[in-house]
Amino acid sequence: MVITESCGWFALCVHILLRFHHVAGGADHVNFKTDRLNVLLILADDLRPSLACYGDTVVKSPNIDQLASKSIIFQNAFAQQAVCAPSRTSFLTSRRPDTTRLYDFNSYWRVHAGNYTTLPQYFKSNGYITMSVGKVFHPGIASNRSDDYPYSWSVHPYHPSSLAFERQKVCRGPDGQLHENLLCPVNVSEMPEKTLPDIQNTEEAVQLLKSVHNKKDPFFLSVGYYKPHIPFRYPEEYLKLYPIENMSLAPDPAIPSGLPSVAYNPWTDIREREDVQALNISFPYGPIPKHFQLKIRQNYFAAVSFLDAQVGQLLGTLDDLGLSDSTIVVFTSDHGWSLGEHGEWAKYSNFDVATRVPLIFYAPGLTSPHPKFGPRTFPFIDAFSYTPNRISKGNSVESIVELIDLFPTLADLAALEVPPSCPDQSFHIDLCTEGSSLMDFLNINNVQNDDEAIAYSQYPRPSNIPQKNSDLPHLEDIRIMGYSIRSAEYRYTLWVGFDPSTFHANFQDVHAGELYFIESDPEQDFNMYNSSLHADLFQKFWKHLIP
């Protein structure tokens, strides 16, 4: 443990005494110890808040729920762009996509936009040992084919070897043959290397925790899991948690009549898989046959439960190594995923289902009373044999927050200086934040709420009519940008002309608008946009977006 190693036996005794005193003094007395806490940042890939701790009644996620029971749960957290690389670059630098200028997968911010300091880099420069396991930065060009090593990480980022099989013919179809399918429950012992990327991720993370837990310096470990991103390749036993007869369609599976064509994402990546191709679904609007929609939902949820088991093992290791009382844990995802809502699938849109993410902060002594000696904080829970109501609910915050808030919040929690807010023109400023610290929300004795808060997201399109590259246009093909604001009352999106050579958005050139009122239309199916009726909202929006 960090504290004991650096101070020796005497300090250990004092620490124990103080803690004993603290426990004896009453469990509701919160003594938040900020110095030299470790950080464990757990990222999921394409995970919307389909978790029991977010009120989902179908999904079995006992280990994440248990973490949430000792945490602050942000019920309304939003990603800045609903696709992997832009979202990750955005929240890891705490800048919006318009400042990273990354809307696709094809540029590295340090040379393309500005030499922005990243979240792990900031911890590294403050004496932390920083480590990356799996998908933290988006791999490839977006992180200079190095996951931004050595700037962000003290040791070489780890990538699981079995990731190489993710897009190969390893999924056994109903015909008994191996295919490159969307739905891919597998017998792990029949997989190449007899493992899966997320299993390897957990093993590596456990090894790293063992190697650093008694070092003098604190650690910042980020573990980026690959699920529930497609293909849904996971151990087949998790299917048993979701009998197909228990599955239901999205509450709003039809494409709403008021949905502008530019807002629709045609889920091109799903169509490429062999099992989906065999369905001969028409482009761009489908629909996917109902029986297959149910299967996609079933497989997504099964992949979530597999992910949950990985998280459970990782958190159990914190207990094993005595780290649960000295480690901040954050669980989140890069963005959400449509499961048939509005006739849409995958990410690539501005709707809540694509932009909303789980965001859970555990800070020992702050979001929950300091763990006591003896009982485990995060005992592993087996999804196949647990009683859901046994897991107590955590404290929820309803305020709208953004993923770019993660960086300043973690800095604040770790008692590092919070980076200053960025000025309007921040292209050449290495260290500043476009988010804000959420520290005020994290004290269970005084949970705050901010009804006025809003979140900004955006999505680019090459054209008004859905085409093959509408989900993920390259920068040079972008012609329209959908700017979206989400308040507690509404989601308001304007699709405006965009010039990819100057990065200029032209708000005189409105291609379409969307306005959904959250209370009466939580699924966002009834587009109330009318430029003359809602001039006041439009003005508010305009004021923020035009410097």
Ligand X SMILES: *[C@@H]1O[C@H](CO)[C@@H](O)[C@H](O)[C@H]1NC(C)=O
Active site members: 84, 138
**The Cα angle at residue 84 between residues 82 and 85, in degrees rounded to 5:** 115
Closer of 57 and 446 to ligand X (Cβ): 57
Distance of closest approach, residue 53 Cβ to ligand X, in angstroms:
17
Distance CA 66, CA 391 (A): 6
176 belongs to the binding site for ligand X (CB under 6 A): no
Closer of 189 and 445 to ligand X (Cβ): 189
Distance CA 38, CA 40 (A): 7
Distance of closest approach, residue 479 Cβ to ligand X, in angstroms:
23
117 belongs to the binding site for ligand X (CB under 6 A): yes
Out of 7, 25, 190, 283, point to the residue binding ligand X (CB under 6 A): 190
Distance CA 26, CA 366 (A): 14
111 belongs to the binding site for ligand X (CB under 6 A): yes
Q: 305: part of which helix (H) or strand (E)?
A: helix 290-320
Closer of 232 and 378 to ligand X (Cβ): 232
SS3 category, 132:
strand
472 belongs to the binding site for ligand X (CB under 6 A): no
User: Are the C-beta atoms of residues 72 and 112 closer than 8 Å to each other?
Assistant: no
57 belongs to the binding site for ligand X (CB under 6 A): no
24 belongs to the binding site for ligand X (CB under 6 A): no
Q: Considering only 108-116, 210-218, 269-277, 363-371, which stretch makes contact with ligand X by CB under 6 A?
A: 108-116
Distance CA 407, CA 121 (A): 11
User: Are the C-beta atoms of residues 393 and 60 closer than 8 Å to each other?
Assistant: no
Distance CA 46, CA 69 (A): 23
Closer of 189 and 389 to ligand X (Cβ): 189
Distance of closest approach, residue 398 Cβ to ligand X, in angstroms:
28
Cβ neighbours of 453 (radius 10 Å)? 17
Distance of closest approach, residue 241 Cβ to ligand X, in angstroms:
6
187 belongs to the binding site for ligand X (CB under 6 A): yes
Distance CA 109, CA 141 (A): 10
Residues 254-293 that bind ligand X (CB under 6 A): 280, 282
* Residue that is written with structure tokens 């996609």 in the block: 296
Out of 106, 126, 144, 463, point to the residue binding ligand X (CB under 6 A): 144
385 belongs to the binding site for ligand X (CB under 6 A): no
533 belongs to the binding site for ligand X (CB under 6 A): yes
Q: 292: part of which helix (H) or strand (E)?
A: helix 290-320
Strand partners, 194: none
14 belongs to the binding site for ligand X (CB under 6 A): no
- Exposed / middle / buried, residue 338 (Cβ in 10 Å: 0-12, 13-18, 19+): buried
Q: Considering only 68-76, 208-216, 476-484, 528-536, which stretch makes contact with ligand X by CB under 6 A?
A: 528-536
172 belongs to the binding site for ligand X (CB under 6 A): no
Residues 223-242 that bind ligand X (CB under 6 A): 241
Distance of closest approach, residue 427 Cβ to ligand X, in angstroms:
13
Distance of closest approach, residue 376 Cβ to ligand X, in angstroms:
26
Distance of closest approach, residue 120 Cβ to ligand X, in angstroms:
12
- Exposed / middle / buried, residue 244 (Cβ in 10 Å: 0-12, 13-18, 19+): exposed
Closer of 362 and 538 to ligand X (Cβ): 538
User: Are the C-beta atoms of residues 284 and 268 closer than 8 Å to each other?
Assistant: no
State the amino acid at position 442 in one-letter form: L
Distance CA 313, CA 204 (A): 12
DSSP characters for 427-459?
A: TT-SS-BSS---GGG--GGG----TT--EEEEE
Out of 177, 207, 246, 448, point to the residue binding ligand X (CB under 6 A): 246
Q: Which tokens hold the place of 51?
A: 């978790």
Distance of closest approach, residue 50 Cβ to ligand X, in angstroms:
14
Phi, psi of 226 (to 5 degrees): -95, -15
Distance of closest approach, residue 431 Cβ to ligand X, in angstroms:
8
Phi, psi of 157 (to 5 degrees): -55, 145
Out of 13, 20, 27, 115, point to the residue binding ligand X (CB under 6 A): 115
189 belongs to the binding site for ligand X (CB under 6 A): yes
If binding means CB under 6 A, how many residues of this protein chain bind ligand X? 18
Closer of 207 and 530 to ligand X (Cβ): 530
110 belongs to the binding site for ligand X (CB under 6 A): yes
248 belongs to the binding site for ligand X (CB under 6 A): no
**The Cα angle at residue 86 between residues 80 and 87, in degrees rounded to 5:** 45
Torsion angle of alpha carbons 312, 316, 318, 322, nearest 10°? 160
Q: Considering only 185-193, 318-326, 405-413, 464-472, which stretch makes contact with ligand X by CB under 6 A?
A: 185-193
Residues 300-329 that bind ligand X (CB under 6 A): none
Please give the residue ranges that form the binding site for ligand X (CB under 6 A).
Answer: 110-111, 115, 117, 144, 151, 187, 189-190, 241, 243, 246, 280, 282, 530-533
